[in-house]
Amino acid sequence: MTVQIRVRGYHLDVYQHVNNGRYMEFLEEARWEFMDSTGFADRIAALGYAMVVVNININYRRPALLHDLLDVGVRIDRIGNKSASFEQVITRDNGEGEPEVVADASVTFCVMDQRTETAVVLEGELRDVLASVMTEENA
């Protein structure tokens, strides 16, 4: 899925391009929209769990500028034993109707039991929820 974000003045740094820290907000906004639109977070919470981000790696490819309309993509790309990850790509129109990558990121998360505050193994119904969302988004 993709979320659009318009670059505003408060996103910029002294060099007049988007501050590197703002990309974290853009990526998170897209993940929340993903979770809301798929019901993913609610389905996880109904099982007594919560998602916790444990690692983010961002590659900054090109500067985003004031008034740019950014497309922030998000999808689950990996489900492991105790963690899974989102692949996220931020693009903008290159002026010729083609998307160009502004940044890309890998966001690793675990699922935590809310009672014990420990990561759980991604198995059974929990893994089924993750797999179903992964399949829906990658279809």
Q: Are 113 and 120 in contact (CB under 8 A)?
A: yes
CA distances (Å), origin 20, targets 65, 68, 73, 100, 138: 12, 15, 18, 18, 28
Calculate ∠ Cα 73-139-43, nearest 5°. Answer: 75
Calculate ∠ Cα 16-21-23, nearest 5°. Answer: 85
* Catalytic choice (13, 93, 113, 128): 13
13 an active-site residue?
Answer: yes
Q: Are 64 and 90 in contact (CB under 8 A)?
A: yes
Structure tokens at 29: 């906004």
Backbone torsions φ then ψ of 22, nearest 5 degrees: -65, -25
Q: Which residues belong to the active site?
A: 13
